């Protein structure tokens, strides 16, 4: 009685094996999907400000054989608007730094970008030790700090003119008679150094960051964009003359093979292979420092060293929406914690100049605090934020209705907020950052520009790099290109 059952089982096994073999054979006979190959003269890697400004200049010069490759689903890079509780806020770039002669200011005027000049003197300081508030000008230590900053800025100018060795901003301040001693001192110092540079005075280069080329050239007013179209409108405007078919979105670069003397092959994670004569690389310094992009062969040591000597800092703006505004009517509030850089700088976005009636307040954190915030759960961060606010305004304040914490350090396409030149980076390193490799691999971006870390720096870097590519390809740059580039010198 057992024999028929065994035969049946054998037949079932044979059928299963046969079906498996048929499936394998049919799959093998199916034609393999070939990667999409694109051939072009120039490939621009990245559709942020520098990539799009580079493409715009190529287009204007009549060099139309190019493509732009972007990992994200949009153009604009770190210019990123976000709809938060009914208002469009900026998660990344937010200000036009310097309004006199700044090319981005020209876009603001032509596009009628709404915003306001930030008044950083409209500030209250909360002392966590005495639990009192004061205006900075009423505190003699603020005057001491301003005098030390003036001394350090003049020392920086002298060092640059006479090619003296660089020192840290901390050393410059100390030579000017400033030494931070208590929470109020550290908070005042943070507001004048870390808030702009995103790292502490002992890490900051005096030569590169105080007063900084941007504020020497374009002066020191800062215009905060609140336009509901977003700051990225500038990039969109640049892109209007570019054929949308030349911009490939959702296509992350995996490898740049420049081994052949005839062409460069760019491979993307979605199966594209772009073959080009020249490549313009606009990745952030953070991405270039990582191993996310494979260069075959590896970039020359001189180029790698210049990249690794640079720094990608993280600057975090945290937005909080409340049922009503319970804080001061001033533009800014400085929290003088015993822990330096702990949720220090609060920006009243409910102010009439920004988003009146929004009941939104923003706090800024930088570098190590930013990375710590990104690494911990959101509810822990909210608990910390509320503890700070309750320290300043009492335990009866309401819970937030919404909180937005941008992620830049852990974002694989940025690995930070913006580029910086740290202490130890030389003029040779700066030159090598900009220099093309083999006249085939060109570099652009906020980390390559002399006006490092700024939107206008990225814009001018894209123009300068496009100019270099055009010359190699035998095109003549227009006088307009040369005049705009002169601004960065």
**End-to-end CA, the chain:** 97
Taking the CA atoms of 168, 186, 92 and 226 in sequence, report the sign of the dihedral they define. negative
Which of 97, 203, 265, 369 does the annotation list as catalytic?
A: 97
219, 63 Cβ separation under 8 angstroms: no
| Cα angle for residues 299, 305, 311 (degrees, 5° grid) | 115
380, 342 Cβ separation under 8 angstroms: no
Query: Which of 133, 77, 85 is CA-nearest to residue 346?
Result: 133
For the record, the structure tokens of 259 come out as: 């081994």
Alpha helices in 166-232 (DSSP H): 169-175, 183-192, 194-197, 206-209, 213-218
Phi first, then psi: what are they for 160, rounded to 5°? -65, -40
470, 477 Cβ separation under 8 angstroms: yes
Question: Tokens 């700066």 belong to which residue?
Answer: 430
Catalytic status, residue 97? yes
Half-sphere exposure of 206 (CA within 13 A, CB side): 28
**Active-site positions?**
97
């Amino acid at each position: 009685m057992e024999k028929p059952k065994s035969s049946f089982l054998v037949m079932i096994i044979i059928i299963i094996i046969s079906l498996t073999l048929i499936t394998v054979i049919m799959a093998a006979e199916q034609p393999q999907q070939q990667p999409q190959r694109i051939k072009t003269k120039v490939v621009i890697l990245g559709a942020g400000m520098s990539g799009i400004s580079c493409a715009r200049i190529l287009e204007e010069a009549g060099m139309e054989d190019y493509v732009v490759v972007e990992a994200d689903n949009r153009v604009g890079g770190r210019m990123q608007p976000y709809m938060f509780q009914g208002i469009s806020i900026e998660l990344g770039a937010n200000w036009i730094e310097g309004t006199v002669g700044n090319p981005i200011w020209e876009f603001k005027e032509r596009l009628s970008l709404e915003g306001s000049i930030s008044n950083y003197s409209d500030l209250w300081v909360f002392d966590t030790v005495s639990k009192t508030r004061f205006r900075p000008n009423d505190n003699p230590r603020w005057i001491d700090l301003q005098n030390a900053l003036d001394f350090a800025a003049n020392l920086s100018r002298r060092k640059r003119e006479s090619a003296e060795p660089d020192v840290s901003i901390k050393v410059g301040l100390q030579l000017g008679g400033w030494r931070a001693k208590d929470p109020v001192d550290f908070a005042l110092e943070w507001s004048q150094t870390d808030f702009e540079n995103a790292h502490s005075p002992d890490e900051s280069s005096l030569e590169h960051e105080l007063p900084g080329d941007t504020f020497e050239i374009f002066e020191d007013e800062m215009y905060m964009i609140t336009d509901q179209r977003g700051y990225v409108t500038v990039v969109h405007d640049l892109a209007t003359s570019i054929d949308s078919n030349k911009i490939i979105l959702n296509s992350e670069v995996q490898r740049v093979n420049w081994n052949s003397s005839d062409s460069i092959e760019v491979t993307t994670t979605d199966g594209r292979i772009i073959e080009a004569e020249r490549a313009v690389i606009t990745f952030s310094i953070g991405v270039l420092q990582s191993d996310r992009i494979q260069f075959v062969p590896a970039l020359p040591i001189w180029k790698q060293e210049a990249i690794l000597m640079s720094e990608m800092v993280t600057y975090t703006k945290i937005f909080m929406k409340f049922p009503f505004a319970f804080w001061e009517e001033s533009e800014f509030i400085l929290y003088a914690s015993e822990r330096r850089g702990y949720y220090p700088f609060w920006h009243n976005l409910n102010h009439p100049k920004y988003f009146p009636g929004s009941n939104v307040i923003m706090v800024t954190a930088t570098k190590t605090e930013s990375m710590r915030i990104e690494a911990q759960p959101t509810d822990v961060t909210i608990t910390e934020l509320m503890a700070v606010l309750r320290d300043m305004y009492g335990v009866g304040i309401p819970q937030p209705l919404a909180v937005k914490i941008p992620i830049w350090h852990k974002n694989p396409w940025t690995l930070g907020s913006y580029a910086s030149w740290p202490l130890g980076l030389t003029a040779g390193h700066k030159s090598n950052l900009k220099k093309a490799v083999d006249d085939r691999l060109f570099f652009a971006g906020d980390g390559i520009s002399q006006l490092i870390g700024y939107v206008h720096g990225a814009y001018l870097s894209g123009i300068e790099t496009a100019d270099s590519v055009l010359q190699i390809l035998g095109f003549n740059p227009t006088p307009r290109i040369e005049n705009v580039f002169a601004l960065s010198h």
